[in-house]
Structure 1
Amino acid sequence: MITVNAPHPLLPGIDRAHEAAEVNAFGKDRGAGFYEACHLHAQTQWQKGFPAKCILALNRALSCTLSADEPVMQTHPLPYQALAWILMNRREDQFTGNPRRHWQHLATRMVEPNKELRRWRAWACWYLSKEILPELEFPPDFKQIREEAVREPRHAEIAERLAALSPADDLQRWEDALNWVREQMGRSTSEVTEWRIRRIDEGELPVIQKLAQRIWPAVYPGIITHAQIDYMLSVWYHPSAMMREMELRGTWFALIEAAGHGPVGYLSFERYPDTDICFINKLYLAPEMHGQGLGAKALEWIRERAIEMGCARLQLRVNKANAPGIRAYQRAGFTFLEDVTTDIGNGFVMDDFRMEKMI
């Protein structure tokens, strides 16, 4: 066998090529022999320089419903960390495809047998890819998300379903893989336990301006140009511009604060005149605060204020390429309302989805 890559360290060693025909020879049998053959074929594809085919072989291994006490499961553990290792060690000259989109499609189009277990294993792999791969380079399938109302699951939901459905040690193997990824990528797993959101007056608008000048250049490159970022910050975030919103439209501004960190985000919203709509103009968090649940808490805080105002609907606009934002709003119960493109001057446009949630 001609090899291109050194052996995958988390897959079984081989002394010859193991071909797809050896896996297919098992037919509908998804026992220990099939499971092992998938792993051996995956190692072959990796060493030949075909990481995408290696991933497909490990997907087939995850179609098995072996119990944790099967001997083969001890020698060849469920391949969550092996898959993560492939994504962490991807090479530009070898085709990997878009694993994030691949697992999204697999999870949402799964068929029998063992549909539910296989579906949540696919979502578990998707979550690993989400943690590892840059979203701008490996985007989700927005078209499917919008047209089929696909809701990407949270960590807790995947964990719950793996624990309920798996006859093996899926949850532990998946959590081990996630912890390994976070360690390799130098990410902290500490969580914010104390936070508050408080309405501010015009005297603290410069705090929002400073936060925006830090947050936007960190999260928006690749979604809009640096020139548009600079333009929007200069037009919308000058304290005098925000003060006019307060005075003329009754816009609320608030800071999101976390214990030990101070202000880590901000938001603004207003009630549209003569409507039951509360429109969210701004909701931004510092990148290091993402994944802490603060965005969901901020949306709930806005919902409570909207009810106090007598509103029945929340609306917002989100850039069509802002995958994390779209995902967060869908999880919070927002649905797509319409496409909106707006000329904002200086040759720039906002190309957004308008989303809505009934409250």
Structure 2
Amino acid sequence: MVKIRHATLADVTAIHLLAEKIWWPTYTTILEKEQIRFMLDLFYAKEKLRKQISSGGQSFLLLLENELPVAFAAFAANQENQEIMILEKIYCLPQAQGKGYGKELLEFVVTQARIAGKSILQLYVHRENKARNFYEKMNFKVVKEVDRPLGKYLLTDFVMQKEL
């Protein structure tokens, strides 16, 4: 049985562990190990997750398969454009991929964005990340390429958008 629910502070450890298990196989072929560790520490250290969840700036979701967390997502309103909701994170354990969980999480976020009155869902994806194919199947379109500094690293992303 699959269930999606809003994550709380009680879920910080689960999200932290999911990120550790997902990021290495996802990014090892496209990012340096040092950059993966830097980004995991920056975004998924337990204290950072606590801040993200408690501030209310991002809404986190957990997808449970038989009551076990196997995927998560996070989304937030765009502060510069009231029409846009940003999909900040969406990740599934490697063994949970291909089961439609990413699509279910994405559809949940789309519903939340529509309820909030948004007309566009936007995300950033590394230009070499194979997840781009998933997003294109979900009707996202590349609208631009961006290079964003993060610490000593440069994030080379596509900005993708989906009309709601």
Query: Equivalent residue for 2:52?
Result: 245
How large is the RMSD of aligned CA atoms in angstroms?
1.4
Query: Equivalent residue for 2:10?
Result: 203
**Cα displacement (A) at 1:246:** 3.3
For 1:73-130, what per-residue CA distance to the aligned partner results, in whole angstroms no more than 9, with x for missing partners? xxxxxxxxxxxxxxxxxxxxxxxxxxxxxxxxxxxxxxxxxxxxxxxxxxxxxxxxxx
Matches within 5 A, 1:130-209: 194-209=1-16
Query: Equivalent residue for 1:340?
Result: 146
Please say if residues 71 and 101 of structure 2, whose CA atoms lie closer than 8 Å, have aligned partners that are also in contact: no
Specify which of 65, 85, 105 is matched with residue 278 of structure 1: 85
For 1:258-299, what per-residue CA distance to the aligned partner results, in whole angstroms no more than 9, with x for missing partners? 12x711111100112351111011000001111111111111
Query: Equivalent residue for 2:39?
Result: 232
Query: Equivalent residue for 1:357?
Result: 162
Query: Equivalent residue for 1:266?
Result: 72
Letter in 2 for 1:308: I
For 1:209-260, what per-residue CA distance to the aligned partner results, in whole angstroms no more than 9, with x for missing partners? 011111111221111111111110011112222233334452101111112x
Query: Equivalent residue for 1:314?
Result: 121
CA distance in 2, matches of 1:250, 1:320: 26
- TM-score in terms of structure 1 length: 0.44
Specify which of 298, 301, 304 is matched with residue 108 of structure 2: 301
- TM-score in terms of structure 2 length: 0.93
Corresponding residue SS for 1:267: strand
CA distance in 2, matches of 1:358, 1:327: 17
Corresponding residue SS for 1:242: helix
Give the gaps of 5 or more residues in structure 1.
1-193
Distance 1:200 1:249, change over 3 A: closer
How many residues align? The count is 163
Structure with the higher strand share, 1 or 2: 2
CA distance in 2, matches of 1:283, 1:354: 15
Letter in 2 for 1:344: L
Letter in 1 for 2:156: D
Corresponding residue SS for 2:143: strand
Corresponding residue SS for 1:292: coil
Deviation >3 Å, runs of 4+: 246-249
Corresponding residue SS for 1:231: helix
CA distance in 1, matches of 2:92, 2:9: 20
Letter in 2 for 1:352: D
Query: Equivalent residue for 1:121?
Result: none
**Cα displacement (A) at 1:203:** 2.1
Q: In terms of Rg, which structure is larger?
A: 1
